[in-house]
Amino acid sequence: MNTYALHTDGLRAAASRLRAGDKVLLSGTVYTSRDAAHKRLCELVAQGKELPLEIKDATIYYVGPTPARPGEAIGSAGPTTSYRMDAYSPALLFENISGWWEVAQICVSALLGIFAIAASLNGHLYKKVHWVLRIVLAVGGLGMMIPGTLTDVVGLVLVAAVIAYQKISAKKHGGPVVTA
């Protein structure tokens, strides 16, 4: 178990090294909300109105408050499950998308990434895939699952190289070639 002192601006960069059980001392802006707040935010998005906060890269703590004791503004507040917010998450996740082409890039790269990972796990494309190429497929597929144009391009190049090698190798050695 490690202890990290992090600012909310650095959470995305630090996320890959955090593990269950780590202690995080967090500073910066943290928004608290639950399903009612998410619903209001989604209503603003649907109406084309500006959100009261910059949601891109925002840290949102799903909090479940308890009733306040007499004379107190709020009771204790602790983490709550995210299932109540799941219905509202897609609208908020796509809030900072600049156009249809960005949505298409996200969807296509994710689907190709899933295909590459499945082929890697299955071990077969046009023919049986060598274990080294299976690793390349997995790395390429994971690259396309990580948000970002650079990781999409690198992942696509890796996967395309394996597919091209497989197709050429299958033709050369007389193996079955699957065509679309």
pLDDT tens for residues 105-145?
Answer: 888 999 999 999 999 999 988 788 999 999 999 999 999 98
- Alpha-carbon 157 to chain mean position: 21
Percentage of residues of the chain with pLDDT beyond 70? 91
- C-alpha to C-alpha distances, 18 to 1, 2, 10, 12, nearest whole angstrom: 10, 8, 12, 10
Global pTM? 0.51
Which position has the token pair 């190289």?
Answer: 161
DSSP code at position 150: H
- The answer to whether the beta carbons of residues 153 and 143 sit under 8 Å apart is no
Mean local confidence (pLDDT), 13-41: 87
In the predicted model, what is the mean pLDDT of the chain? 85
pLDDT of residue 98: 67
Q: How many other CB atoms sit within 10 Å of the CB of residue 73? A: 6
